[in-house]
Amino acid sequence: MTALGLLYGTAPGRLLLRGLTRPWFSRLGGRVMDSRLSALAVPGFIRRHHIDMDGCVKDRFSSFNDFFTRALVPAARPVDPGPDALVSPCDGRLSLWPIRPDGRFPVKGTAYTLAGLLRDEALAAQFAGGTLWLFRLCPEDYHRYIWPADGVPGPAVRIPGLYHTVQPQEKGQRPVYHENTREYRLLDTAFGALLIMEVGAMLVGRIENLPVTGPVVRGQEKGYFAFGGSTVILITKKDAVLPDGPFAAADGEELFVRQGQRVGTVTATK
C-alpha cells in the first residue's frame, strides 16, 4: 500500500490526515519550499522527473518554489490560433465529465454537484447539462496557467477549505473538490459564460492569481500554483463547446495536454 493509501485507507492514517489537510500544514510546507536551503533539492527533482528545462526563462533558482513556479518563454507553449478554439489553460491530465440536468457529475467514483462545488445554487443552475473539463497537475508539471479564451472576467470568488491530495486513487475516498480550497471567476466570452476554477491540494498553500482590469485574451497568463499537485477546472454551458478529437471519446480517461493546446471547438454564440 502506498503512503497515500495508508493515509486515506486506514483509521490511523485518517486520524493523521486531519492535521495534514489543514491550511497551516500547507503554509508550513510553503515556507520550507521558499527557503534558500530548499534550492538544493532542485537538481535531483529535475533528474528524477526528467523535466525539460529548454525554454525556461532562467536556469538558477533561489528556492524550490522559485523553480516550481518558473516561467517559460512564450514559444515553449504556443497557443492555438483558431478563432473557434478553446485551449488548455495548463499542462496536465485532462478528463471530461458531463454535467447532468440536475447538476450532478461523477469523478472517479465520487458523486459531486455543481452547487456543492461552487457553493452557489443559482450559478450552478446556469451550467446544468454542460461539461466539466478537469485538468489535474502533478508536481513535475509546469504550474503556470493561462486564460483559455478571450473575454471579460468577473470578480474572483474564493472558497476556503482543506488541502487533500488530488491523486486519482484518493479522489474516490473523499469528495476532495467539494472540500479543498478553491478560487473561481466567470469569464464572459463570445460563446457565453465560462467558469474557470483553481483548486489547491496538499502542500499547495498558494493559488497565485494575477490582478486583471478589463478584458483578457486567450493565452494571457492568469496565475500559478506554489508547490504540489493541483487542479484547474473549466465549466462550459450546454452545447457551447464540443471536445475535440480524442477528448470527445475519452469517457473519463485522463489524457495529457499542454498549455495552449486546442481541446475543444466553440459551437455556440451568445
Minimal CA–CA distance to 199: which of 166, 235, 156? 166
Q: Which residues are bridge partners to 224 per DSSP?
A: 144, 208
Query: 10 Å Cβ neighbour count for 50?
Result: 7
20 contact partners, CB below 8 Å, separation of at least 6: 7, 163, 202
Sheet holding 241-243, edge to edge: 85-87, 262-266, 241-243
Q: Is 38 annotated as catalytic? A: no
CB 234 within 8 A of CB 198: no
111 three-class SS: strand
Q: Is 91 annotated as catalytic? A: yes
Pairwise CA distance, residues 11 & 15, whole Å: 6
Among residues 26, 63, 95, 230, which one is catalytic? 230
Pairwise CA distance, residues 137 & 98, whole Å: 21
CB 105 within 8 A of CB 192: no
Plot region of 151 (φ>0 → left; ψ -120 to 50 → alpha; else → beta): left
Pairwise CA distance, residues 71 & 54, whole Å: 11
Among residues 26, 38, 88, 91, which one is catalytic? 91
Active site residues: 91, 230
